[in-house]
């Protein structure tokens, strides 16, 4: 996306104002949401400006705009979600850099400094793991929103021929009956087999 005076166009062809506020979205809106970006009023424009200011304050403005453009955000909620995920990503990367610094500090000879750096590194590693988990959860939430919370699984049967050499054993899946189970007198299974 390029910024300029008046209006500009993003890589996906969406129009935006000079402040990089996207004002036109494409695609279907799920969950009976109203697309306030298709024909924005003053409230939608102010909300869009506020989102961008928050992303800038979080140090993730460029990433937020890129993320919203990449996922082709269909409404304000998806745009906010993309901005949050960009902020989480930026924070996780900054924390990872701090973790690397702390790990480098663990190599000093002074035991006190080494122990303090080790404690900081462990705390930072936990924070990074939680941030990365939040990012992954965000990706799943976006997928659930767009799919309506349904998942479609297609199972395809593939015929396979197995050759068992004399003296060898083979297990064929899909035809198992649940194992031997308890036996009755006379050596027969209780389930009638």
Q: How many domains does the chain have?
A: 1
Q: Classify residue 168: in a domain, yes or no.
A: no
17-26, 92-101, 145-154, 174-183: which has the highest mean pLDDT? 92-101
In a domain, 66, yes or no: yes
pLDDT higher than threshold 70 for residue 119: yes
DSSP bridge pairs for 183: 189
pLDDT greater than 90 at residue 164: no
Residue 169: inside a domain: no
At residue 166, the pLDDT reads 86
- The helix (H) or strand (E) run that includes residue 153 is none
- Helix, strand, or coil here: 9? strand
Neighbours of 71 (CB within 10 A): 16
Q: What are phi and psi of 99, to 5 degrees?
A: -60, -45
Q: Is there a domain that residue 188 lies in?
A: no
CA 3 to chain centre: 28
Contact 106, 124 (CB under 8 A): no
- Show Cβ contacts of residue 167 under 8 Å, excluding neighbours closer than 6 positions: none
In-domain check, residue 177: no
**How far is Cα 32 from Cα 122, in angstroms, rounded to an integer?**
44
**C-alpha angle with apex 77: 74 to 80, nearest 5 degrees?**
105
Name the residue range of residue 89's domain: 7-147
- pLDDT for 173 equals 66
Is the pLDDT confidence value at 24 over 50?
no
Specify which residues 166 forms β-bridges with: none
Q: How far is 35 from 23, CA to CA, in rounded Å?
A: 10
Within a domain: 192:
no
Residue 52 falls within a domain, yes or no?
Answer: yes
- What average pLDDT is seen over the chain? 77
If you search the block for the tokens 């031997």, which residue do you land on? 180
Does the pLDDT at position 9 exceed 50? no
The answer to which of 94-108, 155-169, 171-185 has the lowest mean pLDDT is 171-185
Q: Is residue 64 part of a domain?
A: yes
């Amino acid at each position: 996306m390029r910024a300029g005076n008046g209006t500009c166009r993003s890589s996906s062809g969406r129009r935006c104002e000079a402040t990089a506020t996207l004002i036109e979205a494409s695609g279907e809106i799920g969950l009976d949401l109203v697309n306030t970006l298709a024909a924005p009023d003053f409230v939608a424009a102010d909300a869009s400006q506020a989102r961008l200011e928050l992303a800038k304050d979080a140090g993730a403005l460029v990433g937020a705009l890129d993320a919203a453009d990449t996922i082709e955000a269909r409404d304000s909620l998806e745009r906010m979600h993309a901005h949050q995920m960009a902020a989480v990503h930026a924070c996780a990367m900054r924390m990872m850099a701090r973790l690397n610094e702390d790990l480098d500090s663990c190599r000093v000879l002074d035991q006190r400094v080494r122990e303090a750096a080790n404690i900081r590194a462990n705390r930072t590693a936990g924070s990074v793991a939680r941030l990365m988990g939040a990012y992954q959860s965000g990706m799943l939430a976006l997928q659930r929103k767009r799919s309506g919370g349904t998942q479609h699984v297609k199972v395809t049967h593939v015929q396979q021929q197995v050759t068992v050499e004399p003296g060898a054993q083979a297990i064929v899946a899909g035809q198992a009956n649940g194992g031997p189970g308890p036996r009755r007198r006379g050596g027969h299974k209780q389930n009638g087999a």
